[in-house]
Amino acid sequence: MVEKLKEDLTNSLEKALSTKELKEDEVKKTVAAVVEKFKDEIKPENIEEITDYLLQETKRITTKLGHNTGKVSSVVVEGFKEGLEIAGKGKELVKEFVKVCAHSAKKAGLEMMKLPLSFISSFIEGLKEK
């Protein structure tokens, strides 16, 4: 089922990012909706795999469509985090997601220094909640 989640994330991201202007709220809502739909598939043991995939796909799609990868990655991460919260996945899984984000960003070739402040601040907020 994780494969279906990944497929849905890819299709939804491509659709949401296909506009010339970046519609941040639209992207956030789209990602959150996919998370809600597949909430039962998202578990602590696969959150890193899903996050790796999410950021790699975001980078691939934004590069292809010419959007700012760092900015879009930040919006996508915020949407995923909101989706986890809306789906009632609990603070522990949200914290785990926030923790793996930095590692996944590095693996996807997204340097933390080049990511927008909103990405980094949501990462820090997640760590504070420990």
| DSSP state for residue 115 in the 8-state scheme | S
Determine which of 33-37, 49-53, 97-101, 120-124 has the lowest per-residue pLDDT on average: 120-124
pLDDT (average), residues 71-89: 91
Q: Mean pLDDT, the chain, as a whole number?
A: 86
pLDDT (average), residues 102-122: 70
Domain residues of the chain, as ranges?
A: 2-128
Confidence (pLDDT) at 91: 86
Determine which of 1-15, 78-92, 109-123 has the lowest per-residue pLDDT on average: 109-123
**pTM: predicted TM-score of the whole model, two decimal places:** 0.83
In tens, the pLDDT along 7-64 reads 999 999 999 999 888 899 999 999 999 999 999 999 999 999 999 999 999 999 999 9
Confidence (pLDDT) at 108: 85
Q: Which residue did the predictor score with more confidence, 123 or 105?
A: 105
Nearest Cα to 127, choosing from 100, 104, 106? 100
Asked if the model's pLDDT at residue 86 lies above 50, the reply is: yes
Asked if the model's pLDDT at residue 119 lies above 80, the reply is: no
If you search the block for the tokens 């998370």, which residue do you land on? Answer: 35
- What's the token pair of residue 39? 């909430």
